[in-house]
Structure 1
Amino acid sequence: MRPSNMRAGMSRRTFLTRTGAGMLVLSPAGALVACGDDTGGSATSGSGGVDEVTFNNHGLAEGADAAVYEELMKRYEDETGIDIVGNGIPFNEALNQYILQARSGNLSGVVALPQGWIPSLAELDALVDLGSVIDTSLFTDSSLDTVVYNDMTLAFPTTSGAIGLVGNGLLLAEAGIDELPTDIDSFESVLEAIKDLDSDLIPYAAMTGIEQGRDIAFWMRAFGGEVIDENGTISLGDDGSVAALEWYKTLLDRGLIAPNMNRFDARPLFAQGRVGFYDDADIAPSIIGQETTDDELLSNMVPVPRPGVPGVDVPPQSLKWGGGGYAVLKGNDDIEQASIDFASWLSTDLEAVISVFEGTGRAPVLKEALQDERFTSDEWASTWAEDIAAHARPLFEFYPESARMEEILGEMVEAVMLENKDAETALADASSQLQEVIEQS
């Protein structure tokens, strides 16, 4: 069967086969928030003496995404008379800049925060607790989990993505594969079949470098390990984590994965048709689309539920990615209220939410948007949401030092791949380092 139908026909079991696949009315300026006067909480021009709100969003510094947010800012200005002033800082610099600005009292308005950034600003007491103003019934439970820290709800949730497995349907079809692998044995067989096509291909561009070595966590969980539980107990060194790391090394030894791989290298290689599988977020088609004009490859990208391990009863594993949402920075009461109104509108206005989905590829978490035909008819997005994001679990996002903790996992993976340490030694060292970070945070 021709692979052109691949992406449209994804299911848990097979691909290359096509499958069948009371609105709440909101005011444009935050009808969901608690009201302090007879204006109903609307952010109208001059309300409370506030005529502008700052929108701190790294997306405003990111090319195509910037146009999406700028259009929303203009629409809100036209509807309410409140000027929205953008503050776009590149992603890699944004958190540090926000921390510096918050410490100096120069950060105000609304700030877009991935889940992993929320603890840092919460520890500075810079964020408004929105628990009393957010209607939690409007959002998915998993998205709400990403904006809670120390029992406070610190942002209107906007996304709850996942890092999952992405497949190249063209290579799979060329290798004679007509079903997605469901366990590691069939996965290895598929990788071998891809390698047999051309020894220069990378069957699985697994994250073996320090930058995204944290990805080993979903394989450890697939093997029955836990990595870290909800109480902060580190379990590296258990049977599942040892087996997963040793298995990773065997894939490298057999040429089925490559050394020192990170996502930024894997993406262009995938776009060139040189990779069978790699791990990325739900926005992978948008990202790969910036790397290639090959429409056939783009239309045959496959969301792949992670293969399991025989005897281990867990759903297909993925890692929470992104999460978080629009937080409101502490300031005077009028500025806070105007900021709450804008953040609420961004998060609950159906057209605003769908605009972000269509413009960026990030799946919404507003229940109304998830039922909207513009989302449900997108077969990549709806399949990813059902088969991958639905099983996503967090890793270190609840810890202020999450970046360092992820780096420790990456260093552990790299050490084993380079044969500087065996799996058990590397796991023991990483466990000790992680525990030390947790105790100090």
Structure 2
Amino acid sequence: MRTSGIDRRTTLRLFGAATAGIAGAGALGACAPSGGSTDSGGDAKAKNFGFTSWSLNEEATKAEVNKIVKGWESGHKAKIKTTAYPYNEYLQQLTLKLNGGEISGAVHLDIAWLAAIAQMGKLVDLGDVAGEGGYTDVALTSGQYEKKQYGLPWTTGSIGVIGNQKLLDEAGIKKHPVTIAEFEDALRALKELKGVTPYAAATKVAQLKDIFPWMQTFGCTILDGDKVTIGDDASIDAVEWYKKLHDAKLIAKDVDRFDARALFGQGTVGFYDDAVIGKGATLATAKDKNLADAMVPVPRPVLKKGDDPQALLWGGVLAVVKGEGSDSAADFALHATSDVPTAVSYFGKTAMPPTTAKGLADPKVAADTFTSDWTKKITKTATPGPFWAYAKNAQIEEAVAKQVQAVLVGQSSARDAMKRARDEVTTLIKE
């Protein structure tokens, strides 16, 4: 994961916190050494510790997560104090509590937040612990910042392309498209089917960050060090291609992730972008429960054969706060993320794929061909979001998305829009 020189005030603004109050506490100092440090106070070797996670607040996951917690408490004669916040409030609450010294132990982080939280200097380097987990290389990468292992991977997946094999068969598409040219041919064949949207690509600002892997597919690095490369020929080519699909009605207007899931659930979409858990989310509201058999992961088409398919890394890690109970919390994080029976049970209840080679090879996981194929074909070459290391990641993604949308609706040329996007993003990463 790349790094950046984010200043203290900018990092704070990411969380919507009261900048002056928190900055005055000097909370965002340089990262301190790890290994039992008690910078946050308390005994690192204490048996009891805290655990903070949004999964403890969600119906789909809280029972299974509580099972992991209770199992640890029973087996280690310890007490874990759990704290839960809704996902949409989680980052702000976590940051405020960390700055106030009110959180200890293990904390659940979205991998998109890891860089900003690590910069606060309150997390333990779990490099030695991670070596015991047997994690896949891509999973390990998701928990790293500045070459240090600040998170143990709990869920590692990606956002890629899902296809409806039934519609592909009906359209006479005998094999999944590998190149952009083959993908276009497949979309045109799907368009011949009545009432079918060939590709339910994101066209609303909320998910138009999906353009990033397509830009990378066309050869745009997006960032080169701290230099924004959006606006180069490759990014312009990618957006012009997206516009071509839009004008040819091969993708639909005003679609976000939720719209795409709903349309796919109706059996009227050939391809769409989603996370690996999108299958479960889509099937939950699908009219045809047999749709599960038709859902297949499709590596993102490449510009030329031999290129790596592009995908956005997606998932969560367990980090540990320096101070009270940090050693025990690290052991708990290792157990929760790498113990095979625990990971397999979690997968069975939540469809969250394990992050270790042994977990993925377990018969109960391997039998789920969708997840296994997704891991091998899509997550294998997934990369972090290009702007995750920057405090204004959300604003950056929105700035680019708005410019892409302007192209789609005919308000701007791709060249002019990408130049504006480059200038806006360059300003945002320097603020």
Give the structure-1-normalised TM-score: 0.83
Q: Aligned in 2, Cα 1:314/1:105: closer, same or farther, shift over 3 Å?
A: same
Whether 1:366 and 2:342 are equivalent positions in the alignment is no
Q: 2:211 aligns with which of 201, 204, 216?
A: 216
How far is the alpha carbon of 1:137 from its aligned partner? 6.7
Residue identity matched to 2:311 = S
Q: Secondary structure at the match of 1:399?
A: coil
2:63 match: 67
Q: Secondary structure at the match of 2:192?
A: helix
- 1:101-154 per-position Cα deviation (integer Å, ceiling 9, x unaligned): 212222222111111111222232232222343316722222222212233321
Residue identity matched to 2:80 = I
Gaps of 5+ in 2: 1-33, 38-42
Q: Secondary structure at the match of 1:320?
A: strand
Q: Secondary structure at the match of 1:59?
A: helix
1:175-324 correspondence runs (5 A): 175-198=171-194, 200-229=195-224, 231-292=225-286, 294-310=288-304, 313-322=306-315, 324=316
1:87-102 correspondence runs (5 A): 87-102=83-98
1:43 match: none
Q: Aligned in 2, Cα 1:47/1:206: closer, same or farther, shift over 3 Å?
A: closer
Q: Secondary structure at the match of 1:105?
A: coil
1:29 match: none
RMSD, matched Cα: 2.3
Provide the C-alpha distance between the structure 2 equivalents of 1:49 and 1:148, rounded to a whole number of angstroms. Answer: 26
**Preserved CA contact (<8 Å) 1:136 1:144:** no
2:78 match: 82
Q: Aligned in 2, Cα 1:48/1:139: closer, same or farther, shift over 3 Å?
A: closer
- 1:385-439 per-position Cα deviation (integer Å, ceiling 9, x unaligned): 1111111122222333222222222122211112222111111111112222222
Residue identity matched to 2:295 = M
Q: Aligned in 2, Cα 1:338/1:423: closer, same or farther, shift over 3 Å?
A: same
Residue identity matched to 2:203 = T
How far is the alpha carbon of 1:379 from its aligned partner? 0.9
Whether 1:343 and 2:333 are equivalent positions in the alignment is yes
Provide the C-alpha distance between the structure 1 equivalents of 2:206 and 2:423, rounded to a whole number of angstroms. Answer: 20
- 1:198-242 per-position Cα deviation (integer Å, ceiling 9, x unaligned): 2x432111112111111111111222222124x233211222211
User: How many residues are matched?
Assistant: 392
**Preserved CA contact (<8 Å) 2:44 2:322:** no
2:122 match: 126
1:414 match: 405
Provide the C-alpha distance between the structure 2 equivalents of 1:139 and 1:168, rounded to a whole number of angstroms. Answer: 31
> What percentage of aligned pairs have identical amino acids?
36
Provide the C-alpha distance between the structure 2 equivalents of 1:423 and 1:159, rounded to a whole number of angstroms. Answer: 36
Whether 1:169 and 2:165 are equivalent positions in the alignment is yes
Q: Secondary structure at the match of 1:85?
A: strand
1:325 match: 317
1:437 match: 428
Provide the C-alpha distance between the structure 2 equivalents of 1:216 and 1:78, rounded to a whole number of angstroms. Answer: 47
Q: Secondary structure at the match of 1:116?
A: coil
Provide the C-alpha distance between the structure 1 equivalents of 2:275 and 2:328, rounded to a whole number of angstroms. Answer: 33
Provide the C-alpha distance between the structure 2 equivalents of 1:48 and 1:121, rounded to a whole number of angstroms. Answer: 23
How far is the alpha carbon of 1:47 from its aligned partner? 11
Provide the C-alpha distance between the structure 1 equivalents of 2:47 and 2:383, rounded to a whole number of angstroms. Answer: 40
How far is the alpha carbon of 1:66 from its aligned partner? 1.6
**Preserved CA contact (<8 Å) 1:55 1:111:** yes
How far is the alpha carbon of 1:366 from its aligned partner? 1.4
Provide the C-alpha distance between the structure 2 equivalents of 1:48 and 1:105, rounded to a whole number of angstroms. Answer: 18
Residue identity matched to 1:325 = V
How far is the alpha carbon of 1:293 from its aligned partner? 5.3
